[in-house]
Amino acid sequence: MITNKAYMAFGLLLAGLVVLGLAGDRFLLYISMRIMILAIFALGFDILFGRTGLLSFGHGAFYAGGAYGVALCYMHLAKDPLLCLLAGVLLATGLALVIGFFCVRHTEIYFAMLTLAFGMMVFSLIWNLREITGGDDGLVGVGRQAINLGLFKIPLRKESEFYFLVLAFFTGAIWVAHRIRTSPFGLILAGIRENDRRTEFAGVNIRNYRLAAFVISGAMAGLAGGLGVLLESNATPHISHWSHSSDPVLVGLIGGLNTLAGPLVGSLVFVGLKELVMRFTTYWMLFFGVVLLIILLGFRGGVVGTLVQRLAGRREVRS
Amino acid sequence: MLQSIVHVCLAGLSQGMFIWLVASGLTLIFGVLGVLNFAHGSFYMLGAYFCFMVLRALGENFWWGLLLGPVCVAAVGYLVERFFLRRVYGLELPYQLLLTFAFVLLFDDLVKIFWGAASIGTPPAPGLADSIMILGRRFPSYNLFVIAVGPLLALGLWGLLEKTWAGRIIRASSSDREMASALGVKVPTLFTAVFVFGTWLGALGGGLAVPYLGLLTPGMGEQIIIEAFVVAVIGGLGSLKGAFLGALVIGLLSAFGTRFLPTFDMFLTFILMAGVLLWRPQGFFGEAR
Amino acid sequence: MSKKGMNRRQFVKAGLMTAAAAALGPAVLKPTSLWAAESKVKGPIKLGYQTVLSGTLAGYGEFHKMGAIMAMEEINTAGGIAGNKLEIEFRDSTLKAPDAIQNARYFVDSWGADFLAGIDSSGQALALAPVMAELDRVLMVTHAATEKLTEEQVFKNGVKQIFRIVTPTYQDGNAAAFVAKDLPVKTWATINPKYEYGFTCWNMFKETLSALKKDVTFTAESWAPFGTTDFRSHINTIMDAKPEGLYSVEWAGELITMVKQGIQAGLFNQVKHVMFPVGAAMDVLEGLGAEMPDNIWISGRYYFLYPNDKSNNDWVERFHKRWQHYPAYVSEGAYSTMYAFKKAVEAAGSKETKAVVGALEGMTLDSPAGKRVFRKEDHQAMYDVPWGLTVSNPKYPFKIMGKQVMVPAKDCFARPPFEGPGTKPPFKA
């Protein structure tokens, strides 16, 4: 029942997004793409954070891996956007494999601090390897060439064209996250979060599973970063800084952990709310802070979690 | 060369003692409450601004500001703990982080609203405005004062925790919360007290920063909080002894690195941080948990 | 969602405007200019301004706003731009490139801005170049100084929508070298920001000075990361190297902190010739007050006592009356930006991008900083800013320039096509 409803809800969401892509104005499309890209970042992050219970403060590094991968590929190797994205995701995945190998030795706060340290190392490298990364000016001028399919080309230059590529990856990311959640692999990850000892006694090498979750979330962060570069046409070091790594953490906590809808709602609230608040005031941090407090104290477990609980509660009362 | 090394040492020591002043409160709060307080940097900033406000009000005398400013911030800390933080102790670590992060945003804008966005130049400390000659090069007396305050504070904290009744309760609660509670310790009151005291320590660091930096800027707390994190981690989360040593190491590393390695960067401190976490996660002095 | 937001915003704005109109009195309510009846330019002129309003550099944003708001008030009181009211909306640029792009897109696509202005960071300015080409609106850069913006984006890539009203790195690097060649200094060292701006300026300074003077050497470099609050190790590096001259493009709060810590260490007793290319910025002068040592060479993108003529002095007085501050260079840049757009729109008789770009190219603007000419090829405003030695003056609670030296923009700004011989100073007369 509920799964059917959930499928319907996602179907409606996608239909709505397609309509938006056909009818929305340029700014609405741009903001929607920002939200979808952040949602891809957060969907991957939730596999590690919400599902496996590991809080990372370094995923900006993988986002940056994807971003700089795309930008460097565009400048030095090939201009095809799909090839560039592939290069970006590969770079992010490799980075996540190496960093994750060290980080998954710990859990909880020690894991968080390790990821913070590695993330800031990547930030420092990007800032200082000026010949490759352009230093703090970053890499600028990444264009969106048409995707060449031999017989015909899919243009991406306009927002209204690129939008559908982002939407495709967004849908794919939801599908991947959903498949992981319902797979035996996903169940083991949840088992690790709930009780890692018991899961270990069941004969599971939990370190490998943690690493797998880490690498998947890193790869999806890389995809988000790559799409981000194609959207903004530049990559700057800030995206690897810890203050950017905290974005998916906030999104997860706002939307709700270990749910499929949580990262989506969280991203919508995170980008949409900030955009709206900035229209009223330049003191946006004050308002954003107050809203965070309200969400935290009023919606424990995130917006989605609270709503689901409320609805479930009401249903119980009725029946 | 000797002159150079001595002065780099002094610069490193004063820098390290500074980070220690901020990291001590962070470490104490983590050790007892188990909360990693992102807003600690904001309390540092508030400490600096309140110190400046009192200093302005009481005839440009820094010492009054240092005495009264951090106390005002401790009162703010009380409000934060009593009305907000207390409500999320039951939740997981990330929610506590989110709460303190919300206060980082709030305080940054509140500082701009109350004191303006422009940076404010501040006067030196009366009596310590001069520099003294050490091996033929001048070194500010105020920095020597900071170098002295650091160990004194460490000694005071050690005395408080090891030699007093309150300290025993804090240590007992820090190692076993349930047991302490069963023995009749009012844990909520204790938590409030420790948080307020930790806040005061952070604000004291901010107050001492006023003549040290000579400049107040909104957002100044965000620069120091990461350094304090690094120090707290290297020393072993929750270990004051470790944080003290960690601060010394980071201060000296950064001073010598800046002077003798032209390519020196934060990179090295983060490698050190990662190395410690991998090789000895409990830090220099932290006990394995 | 977005529609609701618009309504609320307009509501708030209407309230603010009523208050502003009440405060300004009836002058605002009756446009008297001759444009009022016959203008082809329709509707209010809307300008989106983004600058840093949060974090440690938020003070710069406030200084931008002061200049922009003052110009808007004056222009609207005097009948607006071609008979139309000027409206400005401000946004926090946060210094991050994606936020700058979101702001620009919001301004143009959602708010309906005719023009954009602001931008403090070079990374943001470069990131915005392709976006401005796509949005097809003019962006007047009022702070970011990277020469890559005008040389590569405007001149080479042909992004005609971008102009810059303030001096770029040429003033900080090349002009400094022209001043340095006449100083009795053979060894130079630097404490510079560890990012592109610092590297670029130091390289320019070295290259130009080496070309001007044969026997100079550069003996020490110490690179301070963004956000440095403790300069003592850097100062030690310089004092150990014992150079005769120190050059530093540290700026804003970090320059203030560096100078204070340098005084404590006796740096300025040991190194006699010191150059701060952005030392004449108002936040630095005010922040250091009487503590700024004497006989330091300082400059900026604008210096509030230059040119010493009626127009500038009157402006500084008006500014001080309005804000209880002396104008910072970003205030002057923001202020002049509004008049540049006014002049260009009225000359073009249109607010369309292509027409305004055409009007701005080669346009001469009389501004507080003196006569500016927007160079046609790279859209860089050419105007002169003096270098001067710090000195006390009983009229001000801070140090000002005493002895002044002028390096004209035409002598120290690189020239199109920016590659090959004769494009970089020193130029043959």
Instruction: Give residue-wise pLDDT tens across range A268-302.
Output: 999 999 898 888 888 888 998 998 888 888 877 67
Closest chain C residue to the Cα of B222, Cα to Cα: C55
CB C195 within 8 A of CB A127: yes
pLDDT at C155 over 50: yes
Closest chain B residue to the Cα of A292, Cα to Cα: B102
Does residue C281 sit in the same domain as residue C227? yes
Evaluate whether residue A264 is within a structural domain. Answer: no
At B168, which CATH number?
A: 1.10.3470
Collect all residues with Cβ–Cβ distance below 8 Å to A250 and sequence separation of at least 6: A266, A270, A292, B98, B101
Q: Which of B151, B133, B131 is nearest to B143 (CA)?
A: B131
pLDDT at B286 over 90: no
At C78, which CATH number?
A: 3.40.50.2300
* Domain assignment of residue B275, given as a range: 2-279
Does residue C71 sit in the same domain as residue C211? no
Collect all residues with Cβ–Cβ distance below 8 Å to B211 and sequence separation of at least 6: B62, B122, B123, B124, B125, B128, B142
pTM for the full model? 0.92
Which among C59, C63, C233 has CB closest to B259? C233
Other residues' Cβ atoms within 10 Å of the Cβ of residue B261: 10
**Least confident stretch, A100-109, C20-29, C36-45, C204-213:** C20-29
Percentage of chain C exceeding pLDDT 90? 86
pLDDT-based confidence at A317, cuts 50/70/90? very low
pLDDT at C130 over 50: yes
Mean pLDDT of B232-236: 87
A neighbour chains, 3+ CB pairs within 8 Å: B, C
Residue A314 has a pLDDT of 57
Evaluate whether residue C281 is within a structural domain. Answer: yes
Q: How many CA atoms lie within 13 A of A79 on its CB side?
A: 10
The distance from CA A51 to its chain's CA centroid, rounded to whole angstroms, is 14
Does residue C141 sit in the same domain as residue C37? yes
Which among B88, B112, B267 has CB closest to A124? B267
Peptide bond into A237 cis (omega under 30): no
CA distance to partner chain A, nearest, from residue B231 (Å): 11
Cα separation of B286 and B246, whole Å? 12
* Contact at CB, C56 and B266, closer than 8 angstroms: no
Residue A283 has a pLDDT of 87
Backbone angles phi, psi at C413, to 5 degrees: -85, 135
Residue A137 has a pLDDT of 94
Which of B157-171, B200-214, C333-347 is most confident? C333-347
Q: Which of B210, B203, B201, B49 is nearest to B142 (CA)?
A: B210
Evaluate whether residue A224 is within a structural domain. Answer: yes
Does residue C314 sit in the same domain as residue C280? no
Mean pLDDT of B213-241: 88
Does residue C392 sit in the same domain as residue C378? no
Sign of torsion over alpha carbons C273, C277, C280, C283: negative
**In this structure, what token pair is assigned to residue C334?**
């923001």
Evaluate whether residue A19 is within a structural domain. Answer: yes
Residue with tokens 């971003």: A67
**In this structure, what token pair is assigned to residue C91?**
């946004």
Mean of per-residue pLDDT scores for chain B: 88
Q: Which of A198, A240, A246, A228 is nearest to A42 (CA)?
A: A246
Does residue C274 sit in the same domain as residue C399? yes
**In this structure, what token pair is assigned to residue C201?**
């300026």
CB proximity A285 to B under 8 Å? yes
Does residue C140 sit in the same domain as residue C66? yes
pLDDT at C17 over 70: no
Mean pLDDT of A96-116: 93
CB B2 within 8 A of CB B135: yes
Helices A159-182, A26-46: inter-axial angle, 10-degree rounding: 20
Does residue C262 sit in the same domain as residue C400? yes
Cα separation of C88 and C117, whole Å? 10
**In this structure, what token pair is assigned to residue C65?**
């706003």
Distant-in-sequence contacts of C353-356, Cβ < 8 A, 24+ apart: C353/C136, C353/C137, C353/C138, C353/C161, C356/C115, C356/C138
Cα separation of C225 and C199, whole Å? 12
pLDDT at C253 over 60: yes
* Domain assignment of residue C258, given as a range: 170-300+386-412
Helix extents (H) in C142-186 = 147-148, 169-170, 176-180
CB C95 within 8 A of CB C60: no
SS3 B174: helix
If you count residue pairs, one on A and one on B, with CB atoms under 8 Å apart, how many are there? 103
Mean pLDDT of B77-86: 93
pLDDT at A30 over 80: yes
Residue C34 burial by Cβ neighbours in a 10 Å radius (0-12, 13-18, 19+): exposed
pLDDT at C35 over 70: no
* Contact at CB, C56 and B8, closer than 8 angstroms: no
Residue A238 has a pLDDT of 95
**Least confident stretch, A152-156, B244-248, C275-279:** A152-156
CA distance to partner chain B, nearest, from residue A294 (Å): 10
pLDDT at C181 over 80: yes
Does residue C108 sit in the same domain as residue C152? yes
Evaluate whether residue A282 is within a structural domain. Answer: no
Which of A190-204, B54-68, C392-406 is most confident? C392-406
Other residues' Cβ atoms within 10 Å of the Cβ of residue B165: 7
Mean of per-residue pLDDT scores for chain A: 90
Residue C30 has a pLDDT of 42
Evaluate whether residue A39 is within a structural domain. Answer: yes
Residue A3 has a pLDDT of 72
Closest chain B residue to the Cα of A117, Cα to Cα: B270
pLDDT-based confidence at B187, cuts 50/70/90? confident
Does residue C201 sit in the same domain as residue C336? no
Collect all residues with Cβ–Cβ distance below 8 Å to C322 and sequence separation of at least 6: C66, C70
Strands A234-235 and A139-140: antiparallel
Which among C56, C225, C289 has CB closest to B121? C289
**What is the radius of gyration, based on Cα positions, of chain A?**
20
Q: C191-239: per-residue pLDDT in tens? A: 999 999 999 999 999 999 999 999 999 999 999 998 888 899 999 999 9
Residue B285 has a pLDDT of 64
Cα separation of B76 and B46, whole Å? 9
The distance from CA C135 to its chain's CA centroid, rounded to whole angstroms, is 24
SS3 C344: helix
SS3 C126: helix
Backbone angles phi, psi at C376, to 5 degrees: -65, -40
* Domain assignment of residue A207, given as a range: 2-242
Q: C101-115: per-residue pLDDT in tens? A: 999 999 999 999 999
pLDDT at C8 over 60: no
pLDDT at C4 over 70: no
Residue B288 has a pLDDT of 46
CA A306-A311-A313 angle, to 5 degrees, is 90
pLDDT-based confidence at C38, cuts 50/70/90? low
Evaluate whether residue B216 is within a structural domain. Answer: yes
* Contact at CB, A300 and B95, closer than 8 angstroms: yes
Cα separation of B100 and B91, whole Å? 13
Cα separation of C80 and B147, whole Å? 60
pLDDT at B149 over 70: yes
Evaluate whether residue A281 is within a structural domain. Answer: no
Mean pLDDT of A13-34: 95
Q: How far from C101 is each of A65, C92, C104, C119, C162, CA to CA, in Å?
A: 21, 12, 5, 11, 14
* Contact at CB, A278 and C129, closer than 8 angstroms: no
Amino acid (1-letter code) at residue A118: F
**What is the radius of gyration, based on Cα positions, of chain B?**
19
Number of domain units in chain B: 1
Q: Which of A101, A106, A249, A253 has the highest number of chain B CBs within 10 A, making it the mutation to test binding with B?
A: A253
CB proximity B267 to A under 8 Å? yes
Mean pLDDT of B29-38: 88
CA distance to partner chain C, nearest, from residue A108 (Å): 30
Q: How far from A210 is each of A91, A290, B66, C359, CA to CA, in Å?
A: 20, 34, 48, 62
Residue C91 has a pLDDT of 95
The distance from CA C300 to its chain's CA centroid, rounded to whole angstroms, is 8
* Contact at CB, C91 and A282, closer than 8 angstroms: yes
Backbone angles phi, psi at B41, to 5 degrees: -65, -35
Cα separation of A18 and B144, whole Å? 66
Cα separation of A126 and A74, whole Å? 17
Cα separation of C244 and C185, whole Å? 6
**Least confident stretch, A268-282, B42-56, C241-255:** A268-282
Closest chain C residue to the Cα of A281, Cα to Cα: C91
* Contact at CB, B119 and C256, closer than 8 angstroms: yes
pLDDT-based confidence at C23, cuts 50/70/90? very low
**In this structure, what token pair is assigned to residue B198?**
């930790």
Evaluate whether residue C5 is within a structural domain. Answer: no
Evaluate whether residue C270 is within a structural domain. Answer: yes
* Contact at CB, B113 and A283, closer than 8 angstroms: yes
Residue with tokens 């001259």: C245
Q: How far from C258 is each of B70, B209, C234, C281, CA to CA, in Å?
A: 26, 14, 9, 15
Amino acid (1-letter code) at residue C1: M
Evaluate whether residue C233 is within a structural domain. Answer: yes
**Any bridge partners for residue A14, and if so which?**
none
C neighbour chains, 3+ CB pairs within 8 Å: A, B
Q: C280-338: per-residue pLDDT in tens? A: 999 999 999 999 999 999 999 999 999 999 999 999 999 999 999 999 999 999 999 99
Backbone angles phi, psi at B148, to 5 degrees: -80, -35
Cα separation of A41 and C380, whole Å? 40
Residue B121 has a pLDDT of 86
Evaluate whether residue C293 is within a structural domain. Answer: yes
Residue C144 burial by Cβ neighbours in a 10 Å radius (0-12, 13-18, 19+): buried
**In this structure, what token pair is assigned to residue A257?**
């952990």
pLDDT at C29 over 90: no
Backbone angles phi, psi at C247, to 5 degrees: -120, 135
Q: What region does A54 belong to: left with phi over 0, alpha with psi -120 to 50, or beta?
A: beta
Number of domain units in chain A: 1
Closest chain A residue to the Cα of C61, Cα to Cα: A282
CB B138 within 8 A of CB C270: no
The distance from CA C56 to its chain's CA centroid, rounded to whole angstroms, is 18
pLDDT-based confidence at C39, cuts 50/70/90? low
Q: How many CA atoms lie within 13 A of B190 on its CB side?
A: 21
Residue B1 has a pLDDT of 79
Mean pLDDT of C129-139: 96
pLDDT-based confidence at B235, cuts 50/70/90? confident
Residue C362 has a pLDDT of 96
Number of domain units in chain C: 2
Percentage of chain A exceeding pLDDT 70? 96
Residue A162 has a pLDDT of 95
Q: Which of A193, A280, A296, A306 has the highest number of chain B CBs within 10 A, making it the mutation to test binding with B?
A: A296
Evaluate whether residue C240 is within a structural domain. Answer: yes
Mean pLDDT of C371-390: 96
Does residue C282 sit in the same domain as residue C238? yes
Mean pLDDT of B148-173: 88
Does residue C322 sit in the same domain as residue C210? no
Mean of per-residue pLDDT scores for chain C: 91
Residue A28 has a pLDDT of 95
